[in-house]
Structure 1
Amino acid sequence: MGERDAFAYWREMICATFVRLAAEPVDGPRFSGSIEHVPVGDVELSTVVAGGQHVRRTRGLISAGTEEYLLASIQVEGCGRVEQDGRVAELSPGEMAFYDSTRPYALHFDEAFHQLVVQVPQRELWLRDTRGLTSRTLGAGTPGAVVAAFFRSLSETAANSSDGGFGLVPHAIGLLSAAATYAGGAPPAREAVESLTSQRVLDFLRRNLSDSTLDADAVAKACNVSRRTLYRALDGEGVATRLRRMRVERARELLAADRDRPVGAVASACGFATESGFYRAFRAATGETPAEYRRRCGTAGQ
């Protein structure tokens, strides 16, 4: 397939995945690109890895269709630019920006890039007027960083999990709405604040699972919330209970992935203060000992 044909096929692919778009490659080596599209309920997640290109959503293309989506580009590698409503958002890895399919926009990638694109029907969001929130860069120190990390994790979960992450759809839409509200500078709705707080707490717990001294007071202080707010953020589940569940889940991953790691080392890596405590928690949660679980995983993989 020639370079011209390859990009024509790519153009058809991005139109089928997102909305009707015009696109042209950046001058350079032979074009290549891939899209991994994973729908999770009303949330569509698309991992895009491709060569440099310029993409436009024109008035003519808008008038020819009925798509009404809010999209968010989360930069993973390389750099990009989002242009809409008279603004330009410069994206570096870890940053995100919104754009609206009902108005013209442009995406520019001067070199090869890797993005996660989140696409949600506007009817599912908590906000209606998007003109103030498009093409604004959200990065470190903003809710965008929390939301970007969540969606990257959700994308991996949806691609590899049997349930496809459908149970997380309400939370996902809430987080996206919260980030969009922040981008527009509007006072966040109560639901948006709660979604962001919940995700911030869960992110902190995941990063600190190996700390066996972690308790409710330490988590509340680190996340700058009260113990009452912390309890609500965990859906009424105590910190100790949620940590134990997350630690057992992490232990299952380690036991299956690294069969040579001693069980005591797995226990320590997952934040259990003693090996005996790990055995009790693991058996109570799974109905089998760590050794039995590891043996069963090894048998299933043969």
Structure 2
Amino acid sequence: MPPAVDRHAFAELATTTVPAREAFAYWRELISATFVPLTAERVADRGFRGRIRHAPVGDLELSTVLADGQHVRRTPSLIGRSADEYLLASIQLRGRGRVEQDGRVALLAGGDMAFYDSTRPYTLHFDGPFQQLVVQVPKARLPVRDTRELTARALAGAGPAAPVPAFLTSLARTVGPGGDEALLLVPHALGLLTAAAALAGRAAPAEDAATALARERVERYLREHADDPRLDAERVAAACAMSRRTLYRVLGEDGVAARLRRIRLERARAMLVAAPHRPIAAVAAACGFESDSGFHRAFRAAAGCTPGEYRRRHRPGTRGR
């Protein structure tokens, strides 16, 4: 029986729900129901296992695929069976993959990303077990008129587009059933996808998309170095290859100091609860605060209580009392 997949609902789907002899036939139906009509062949004559975690967020569909090797094709006849038009992006998480479309081949290793368009034939190939995040969005939601120059071009995980797969992978991990709070991030995700598409097409990103890409690069750097009390705007601008003026334009009203303070306080809240016996001074130092007094002032201003009071209120078994 073909799998019942609601494209607009969170789902976890796996071949383990059917007998082993039916696993690959079920998988072919599953990927067609989750993405677009596809055909697939296995690359090894042995048992097959596959799993998809499908998380829709507004117009975005984020599907984490973990499976054995296979060869997947979108053929002209299958294209004729569906009227929907999507731009898809594969982000390689484990193993290696290959994306072929429009006369090009993109080879993907960990962290790499490539686009493909559902309105033209394409091929996906995996020699062995792999894990990918597949991002799918209606083409009408992106300001990209012609995709022929951006498909099947590998965007390296360490290149200028690196913040895009990092953001989308993090978003996919956090979205669960109901995930309405993630809807606020959809415009940001669309901006990053637009920027990545421009980079893949060898064009300069539009202003809004370029700003989204730059903002995510700054955000990533701040989170990675928030424990350094000496971190300042000059260092952030230099590390992100932009002027201080551009840095403040990208961050808007927040500015570096305010955004960094928020990141440090978010980390402190989590640490106070997760490590209840860790001295508060050690929490302050681990989160990048130069002094205990500065930490207490910032924490009270943001949370309305001291770090010690926050920890007591959030001890296991005390919530709701």
Shorter-chain TM-score range: over 0.9
Quote how far apart the aligned CAs of 1:141 are: 4.3
1:174 paired residue number: 191
1:124 aligns with 2:141: yes
Quote how far apart the aligned CAs of 1:211 are: 0.8
- For 2:292 and 2:235, the matched residues in 1 are separated by 23
2:211 to 172, 194, 198: 194
Deviations 1:210-266 (A, max 9, x none): 011112222122222222211121122121111111111111222222223222222
1:296 paired residue number: 313
Quote how far apart the aligned CAs of 1:279 are: 1.7
Quote how far apart the aligned CAs of 1:299 are: 2.8
- For 2:297 and 2:258, the matched residues in 1 are separated by 14
AA at the equivalent of 2:314:
C
1:215 to 204, 216, 232: 232
TM-score normalised according to structure 1 size = 0.94
- For 1:162 and 1:13, the matched residues in 2 are separated by 23
What's the C-alpha RMSD, in Å, of the aligned pairs?
Answer: 1.8
- Structure 1 segments unaligned to the other structure (5+ residues): none
- For 2:180 and 2:81, the matched residues in 1 are separated by 35
1:31 paired residue number: 48
AA at the equivalent of 1:113:
F
Quote how far apart the aligned CAs of 1:28 are: 4.5
- For 1:186 and 1:135, the matched residues in 2 are separated by 15
Contact kept in structure 2, 1:157 and 1:164, CA below 8 Å: no
1:158 aligns with 2:171: no
- For 2:39 and 2:28, the matched residues in 1 are separated by 7
1:259 aligns with 2:276: yes
2:58 paired residue number: 41
Contact kept in structure 2, 1:69 and 1:102, CA below 8 Å: yes
- For 2:293 and 2:263, the matched residues in 1 are separated by 18
1:274 paired residue number: 291
Quote how far apart the aligned CAs of 1:153 are: 1.3
AA at the equivalent of 1:283:
R
Contact kept in structure 2, 1:40 and 1:164, CA below 8 Å: no
1:100 to 98, 102, 117: 117
Deviations 1:120-160 (A, max 9, x none): 11001111100011111111442332211111111123238
Q: Relative to structure 2, which stretch is displaced further, 63-72 or 157-166?
A: 157-166
TM-score normalised according to structure 2 size = 0.89
Q: 1:192 to 1:105 in 2, by over 3 A?
A: same
- For 1:180 and 1:167, the matched residues in 2 are separated by 21
- Structure 2 segments unaligned to the other structure (5+ residues): 1-17
Structure 1 stretches of at least 4 aligned residues deviating more than 3 Å after TM superposition: 1-4, 159-164
Deviations 1:23-57 (A, max 9, x none): 12221442111111111111111111111111111
**1:225 counterpart SS class:** coil
Identity of aligned residues (%): 59
Q: Relative to structure 2, which stretch is displaced further, 237-246 or 253-262?
A: 253-262
Contact kept in structure 2, 1:3 and 1:31, CA below 8 Å: yes
Quote how far apart the aligned CAs of 1:171 are: 1.0
Quote how far apart the aligned CAs of 1:286 are: 1.5
AA at the equivalent of 1:97:
A
1:137 paired residue number: 154
- For 1:97 and 1:254, the matched residues in 2 are separated by 36
Alignment length (residue pairs) = 302
Q: 1:301 to 1:79 in 2, by over 3 A?
A: farther
Contact kept in structure 2, 1:133 and 1:181, CA below 8 Å: yes
1:242 paired residue number: 259
Q: Relative to structure 2, which stretch is displaced further, 251-260 or 107-116?
A: 251-260
Contact kept in structure 2, 1:11 and 1:21, CA below 8 Å: yes
